[in-house]
Structure 1
Amino acid sequence: MKFFAIASLSCLFTIHSVHANDFLDELTALANGRIAEVASSSEVVAAVKSQNETTGSYDQAKIDSLDKTWRSETDAADQPMIDMVLDNPLSAYLADVQEGSDGLFTEIFVMDGKGLNVGQSDVTSDYWQGDEAKWKDTFLVGKGAVHVSDLEEDESTQTLQSQVSVPVVDPDTGAAIGAVTFGVNVEGL
């Protein structure tokens, strides 16, 4: 019986890996096209630069405290920190981009130079993304970096999606100043 369970897990992993690789070319092209355009928009660049001026001096204790507050608000009736981010002009811009994608984009969020949310189309489960590959493999690598996550099934929509991330680059210096992540419904490619 143990052999069957191991064989079944191996089979699932192989199927999952094949599906993830099946969309890699299309997701990379999307990252270098439409997603890069949004990442380099004046709305995104200006908002990230502005937030970096505030958060650039934050230490890990401050970041952890903010993330803890955010996480506590995700299930609360009163959400002042989340509302402040969702109600900002960048979040409105990202919501418009998502809405105009005809279901291709399931979420969009922008992170600053510390990995903290700057704007988002929907609420994220946490405020600090700086410990995750979506930020590390883009912001820390710099211009031209692309991170494509494994495929996951979205339980609420029953669609297959992948997160695609690229750095936000300062057009004046060419340096990475943040990152952006798009949830992509691969069935819409």
Structure 2
Amino acid sequence: MFRKALLGFTLLLAPVAQAAEVPPAMSQYIYDDLMAWVNDAEIVQAIQAQNSAMGALSQDDIILRDEMWRAQVSTPVAPLVNEVMNAPLSTFLRVHQEKSAGLITEVFVMDRNGLNVAASTITSDYWQGDEAKFQETFGKGSGSVFVDEIELDESTQTYQGQVSFAVTDPASGEVVGAITVGLNASAFY
């Protein structure tokens, strides 16, 4: 564990798990900008609301929801996709993406099941729980950060590096979900 001073608070951060080498400018942006808002109260509350509403889902239920999402992504009638994209938290995420002046390509928030709670742009799938972005953060505890390899992202059609964070309830210290921020790789080289 190491400490990071941020906005007058000292955060205990788990070691950063990395699948790839992180350019210094990207690393600086992660710690100077993203760490300031990825555990915002609005994010924590939205995750907790979905955790409460969904409860513990079976693997079959999760897969069914993911299949529904994938089928709805490119159709005009998309109740599950619309529910996520029209969530108030999705507006919050879009504002942060817009303020980044092109550095952020996408942002999405996941509940304890690894299911989307909110997103700035439509993701290609609904269930992130089977991916490193969720497993290396939610499953690793408070303060966990995972930086994935830079690759062409299917959803955004840009080369991006995804950085994911465990989202922690500040009152209980419990990890409630995770957030992934896609960063435009070309902006950091």
The structure whose residues are more often helix, as a share, is 1
Report the identity percentage. 42
Cα deviation digits, residues 19-50 of structure 1 (max 9, x gap): x4252x44444334422222211110110011
Structure number with larger C-alpha Rg: 1
1:96-135 correspondence runs (5 A): 96-135=95-134
Q: Which range is displaced more, 119-128 or 140-149?
A: 140-149
Task: Kindly indicate whether the alpha-carbon contact (under 8 Å) linking 1:161 and 1:183 is maintained by their aligned counterparts in 2.
Answer: yes
Gaps of 5+ in 1: 1-19
Task: Give the corresponding residue for 2:90.
Answer: 91
- How many angstroms apart in 2 are the aligned matches of 1:176 and 1:97? 22
* Structure 1 stretches of at least 4 aligned residues deviating more than 4 Å after TM superposition: 154-159
- How many angstroms apart in 2 are the aligned matches of 1:97 and 1:174? 25
Q: Which range is displaced more, 158-167 or 116-125?
A: 158-167
Gaps of 5+ in 2: 1-19
How many pairs does the alignment contain? 169
Q: Please, what is the CA RMSD of the aligned residues? A: 1.9
The structure whose residues are more often strand, as a share, is 2
Normalised TM-score (structure 2): 0.82
Distance 1:82 1:22, change over 3 A: closer
Task: Kindly indicate whether the alpha-carbon contact (under 8 Å) linking 1:31 and 1:146 is maintained by their aligned counterparts in 2.
Answer: no
Aligned AA (2:111): D
Task: Give the corresponding residue for 1:21.
Answer: 21
3-state SS, counterpart of residue 62 of structure 2 = helix
- How many angstroms apart in 1 are the aligned matches of 2:80 and 2:157? 30
Q: Is 1:178 matched with 2:170?
A: no
1:27-176 correspondence runs (5 A): 27-153=26-152, 159-176=158-175
Normalised TM-score (structure 1): 0.82
3-state SS, counterpart of residue 75 of structure 1 = coil
Q: Which range is displaced more, 37-46 or 86-95?
A: 37-46
Aligned AA (1:69): M
